[in-house]
A and B are shown apart, each in its own frame.
Chain A
Amino acid sequence: MRTSAAGEKWRAISQPPRLLGNTSRWLTLGIGLILAILFFTIASEDWFTIVNYTMIAAIAALALNVLSGYTGQISLGLSFFMAIGAYTAALLGGPQPTSSLDPQGFGLSVLIWLPAAGIVAALVGALIGPTALRLKGFYLGIVTLALVFIGQYLFRNLSSITGGPQGRTFPAPAFGDFSFDQQNNLFGIAVTSGQQYFLLILPILALAALFVGNVMRSRAGRAFRAVRDHEVGAAIMGVNLFEAKMGAFILSSFLAGIAGALFASYTSYITPTYWDLTLSIQFVAAIIVGGIASIWGSLLGAAFVFGLPQVIDHFSLLPASNSGVGLNSGNLNALIYGALIVVFLLFEPGGVLGLVQRCQALIRSLNRHEREGGEPAEIIDLSYNAGVPINIEDAAPVKGDSE
């Protein structure tokens, strides 16, 4: 008979993981919803800008985590795929050109251009994948880096789509007269542009996180991680390396395309220089600081690398970014995330999420010691090891252990 915490844990594990299986998950969801509604009603437009950008960044961080975190393929090319998504959105959703100098646009609905942004990015990923994924480790990293530079060149020169070096405008989602770039009435309540985007982006982010989370719990997700941990070993166990890598690459490109389209639409005007290597590196920093191979890690990382600097700006803690000498918010931001990468990789490879989990484990073990006078280390502590956490839900339950 086992009534200890470990026994309960194993019983929970032996059942298939469920989205809303237990009270604590319902509770988390409830608190999350209440916070979102509270934020929605009381926040100022500035805060909506910060939160919306952070949520878009979180979608892109998820995209990178699928490829680099879960599947272990080094990629510095995220900004290229984001740009593909953004320009697809602009081409399909942009206004029809009024003069021959204007960039092209077909004026289609958001219901077409937003999914299309993801699909086209995924298609481009599928085209490039077979070439890029032949390479391993840093060779892949450097080829994806080349992709960013080739992209910059293409975007500068394809001025009928990208507007050339001067950049172009990007469409706001619109349903008839209900356009997201202006204040509208929603069921008799006035909602600002930021609030409308919030209502659009939050569900997309939630869906993306849920989708990635579930894929990673599936056979495909386990294959991804097997490829990351040992390629040859995975192949010997029957994982089709090409399929697994391509799957991760395409899923990652799809999400990056969606994030790019949302970002461009929210910003409304972008020049091709925006999609540069720095952007890609910021996302790599985000998943390292947040937590590699983890959904919450992607969200936390985006908040740290993309949200925090804007919050610092918002409270004007430092002189605004400019090209001057000395410490300003832009420089401080770069300095902090450069140093954070080093510090986290050195001391906490699990990122902010790893820190949180470590604290939880510490609290739990303290409690246990008080209650039961110290039990020997048990198997659940494995998931709180330093390093990339082993997801306990993936471990096959030992037969008969749940009795």
Chain B
Amino acid sequence: MAYFFQLLFAGIAQGCVYALIGLGFSIIFKASEVINFAQGELLLVGTYIVSAGVFEWHLPFFLALGLGIVVTVIISLLFERFILRRMIGRPVFSILMMTIGLDIVLRTSVIIYWGSNPVPAASPFAITSGFNLGGVLFGANDLWTIGTTIVLCAALYYFLHYTKYGLSMRATALDQEAALAVGINIRSVYALAWGIAAFIATLGGVFLAIDSFAIDPTFGGVALIAFPAIILGGIDSVSGAVVGGIVIGVTQVLTAGYESHVTNIVGAGIHEITPYIIMILVLLIRPYGLFGTRKVERI
């Protein structure tokens, strides 16, 4: 039973990382209806900078973290300002491909600068620290991840519901033209959404990196697993991203923990595709996710 709870705990922590990445997707989608395929690569760049800051440039961890966040936020703002803003009104497919273009450029730049060998992950505490309770090890990193996710979600909730900018962001998501008409500066809303997404991406990336001790250029692919999480929750729903992330994280870790019993039947590595299978099943029943809003088509 301790094994089960250990997996459950690990799954929740894993799910929180997916939720952090998913929040980045949701925020951008909510503001501008753009799916940002480059989210994973923003995370990659941020994590590499934090790692390089600590191990190459010998900065204190939190300074490196700040540097990583600043750089990714700047990349993200520049991309939004000079590239995506010119694409407003173009087909979804084109905008989606733009972000894939950014994704490729960012990943290749990381490979050109740092090579494709793994680099160690930076961490503010000893990676193995934590405490043991009834046979279940509560790792410091997992606790930090869960704690940060809770704090960030609360902050986002407060921001979206009680601050001027948060409210204008929600208004923009609801109806762009109406938002313009009441004097909301849509440009700054878009910029804000991209900035927040990049900030969250770097945080999520750092936690995920600590979990796996090292990072390499394929690290950004984790965002592809966050896709099922946001789809499950409904892409335009912030709470959906969190619920979806945790569901996906827990199922994935549980499958990974128990799959050795069924390897003969289903083959190795089934946990890699469980998120996708769950996503397809959910979409079959609810094409707009569990918490997403159904769109009404107009001519």
Contacts and interface: CB of A to CB of B under 8 A. Distances in A.
A35 interface: no
Interface string A264-296: 000000000000010001001100100000000
B104 A146 contact: no
Contacts of B287: 134-136, 139
Interface stretch (A84-92, A197-205, A318-326, A354-362): A318-326
Contacts, number: 129
Nearest to B117: A323
Interface string A336-358: 01111110011001000000000
B96 interface: yes
B276 A150 contact: yes
B178 interface: no
Contacts of A138: 35, 92, 96
Main secondary structure of the interface of B (DSSP, over half): helix
Interface in B90-117: 90-94, 96-98, 100-105, 107-109, 111-117
Given A74-B92, A135-B287, A337-B104, A157 B268 contact: yes
B87 interface: yes
Classify chain A: how many residues form its interface, as a range: 35 or more
A277 B276 CA distance: 14
B19 to A, nearest CB: 17
Interface residues of B, number: 49
A162 B154 CA distance: 49
B86 A153 contact: no
Contacts of A346: 83, 86-87, 98
A338 B276 contact: no
A142 B279 CA distance: 10
A72 interface: yes
A153 B267 contact: yes
A351 B26 CA distance: 31
A50 B238 CA distance: 48
A141 interface: yes
B231 to A, nearest CB: 6
B181 interface: no
Contacts of A136: 287
B298 to A, nearest CB: 8
B222 interface: no
A37 interface: no
A247 B187 CA distance: 41
Contacts of A145: 224, 227
Contact of A74 (B93, B227, B269): B93
Nearest to A288: B97
Interface string B141-177: 0000000000000000000000000000000000000
Contacts of A146: 227-228, 273, 276, 279-280
A175 to B, nearest CB: 37
